[in-house]
Amino acid sequence: MPAPVPCDILLLASTCLTQDDSRTIIENAAVAVGGGAVLAVGPREAVAPAWKPGRTIDLGEALLMPGLVNAHTHASMTLMRGLADDLPLMQWLTQHIFPVEQKLTPELVHLGALLGCAEMLRTGTTGCCDMYLMEEAVARAADQAGLRARVGEALFAFPSPAYAGPDQAMDVVRALHEAYRDHPRIGCTLMPHSVYTTTPALLERALALAEELDLPLNVHLAESASETAQCLEQHGQRPVPYLHSLGLLGPRTLAAHCVDLTDAELALLAATGTRVAHNPESNMKLASGACPAQRLLDAGVTVGLGTDGPCSNNNLDMFSEMGSAALLQKLLRQDPTALPAQAVLDMATRQGAACLDWPDVGAIAPGMRADLTALDLAQPGLQPMYNPVSHAVYAASGSQVRLTMVEGRVLFFDGAWPELDYPALLAEVRGAARWVRRQFAGA
């Protein structure tokens, strides 16, 4: 028998939900990890003897699975969680959120993002796509926390705390791209905020820069009926055909929300290869409507799953988001077979990774990046288990996560963040909350 091959970590678990091409489920499983990648996965008796790990983590009765991908969020909004609830989208955004955001500093954005990263790691998310102000501070937080991230400065037609106008905004994007162009986990994205906060010229400039730098482009799109009415009034078109007329629909683009869609618009998204990030809990909380996720999937659209920001959700728990996505489609279509558990799990792993151009993320298979999470199956809410996919989507919550790993690094394990000083972070957050409360009182 050949001598065991060295590896960094050997993970052992009672069940492994691989999400590989065959959606293989392995009982009494082992996963060998080295160099940030999955080296081997299979039954423990076959895999474990072949490897000599630097560290063995025996998770016991646990469900080991790919880390979840949050395809659309604004992590720094953790600092404003719960301040403005039970309001319509435009009132919530323009009267409450935007005024406070105009007073943010890079230090506050970094702090909020770091708290968001800690929450995502705690709840099994290993990668996210983040749009916000002063996004360089978010990138630093993701780097510090060890998360995988696509980051992009929100582009508006009006000044933001990060820039005075469109020219400076493009400079900010270029600088962010240059800073992280060779980073193994963090990449830049062009992020015009929406059709109602930009101009045709700004949208076209964003697309041109995305093409020049070969970067993805993200935008809020068709989020509500009020957005549609505003777009019709300002541009004489509904949001989806308006973006198409400017050349922004296509496989480079990830559109968040896509709630208010006609049949023709849904077909246009599919025909152009535009990807969609579905945010069910945020859309329900703001009463924006329901994205026709099942119809988009049926039409061949790549659909990921996102939490949106922790002001409009109010959490970053992707396990919760999976359950909500499945239930919302069943209610919307009056069909209990709509958006079954496997389709939702795909959205949160493989399809989410595809939305963010991460071809080696979203499954546990040799050669894939070692972005993993594990649920504690000994918890009463996860007993007994007959179907691991059903459990992950319908029964689990982020509070039952035991382990989260990104690029082969253990970033959350049994209630602790080995690479974050969480007590110090919490103390800073409490201080920032006092500042936010004062600003919000004057908003």
Over the stretch 240-269, which tens digit does the pLDDT of each residue have?
999 999 999 999 999 999 999 999 999 999
Tens digits of residue pLDDT in 376-422: 999 999 999 999 999 999 999 999 999 999 999 999 999 999 999 99
Q: Using the 8-state DSSP alphabet, how is residue 395 labeled?
A: I
- Tell me which residue of 392, 433, 414 sits closest to 68, measured CA to CA: 392
Provide the pLDDT confidence category of residue 303 given band limits of 50, 70 and 90.
Answer: very high
pTM for this predicted structure: 0.97
| Residue-level pLDDT at 441 | 64
- Look up residue 248 and give its two tokens: 């922004």
**Helix, coil or strand: residue 269:** helix
Q: What is the pLDDT of residues 189-221, one digit of tens each?
A: 999 999 999 999 999 999 999 999 999 999 999
In the 8-state DSSP scheme, what is residue 80?
Answer: G
What distance in Å separates the CA atoms of residue 25 and residue 43, rounded to the nearest whole number? 10
Q: Is the pLDDT of residue 440 over 70?
A: no
- Token pair in block for residue 440: 């919000």
Taken in order of first residue, the domains within the chain and their CATH numbers are 5-66+368-413 (2.30.40.10), 68-355 (3.20.20.140)
pLDDT confidence of residue 439: 73
- pLDDT number for residue 442: 55
Cβ atoms of residues 243 and 265 within 8 Å: no
If you average pLDDT over every residue of the chain, what do you get? 96
- Cα 28 to Cα 43, 105, 115, 301, 386: the distances in Å are 6, 49, 34, 35, 15
Is the pLDDT assigned to residue 101 strictly greater than 90? Answer: no
- pLDDT (tens digit per residue) in 42-80: 999 999 999 999 999 999 999 999 999 999 999 999 998
pLDDT of the residue at 276: 98
For position 372, what pLDDT does the model report? Answer: 98
- Overall average pLDDT of the 421-440 stretch: 89
Q: Give the model's confidence band at 88: pLDDT under 50 very low, under 70 low, under 90 confident, else very high.
A: confident
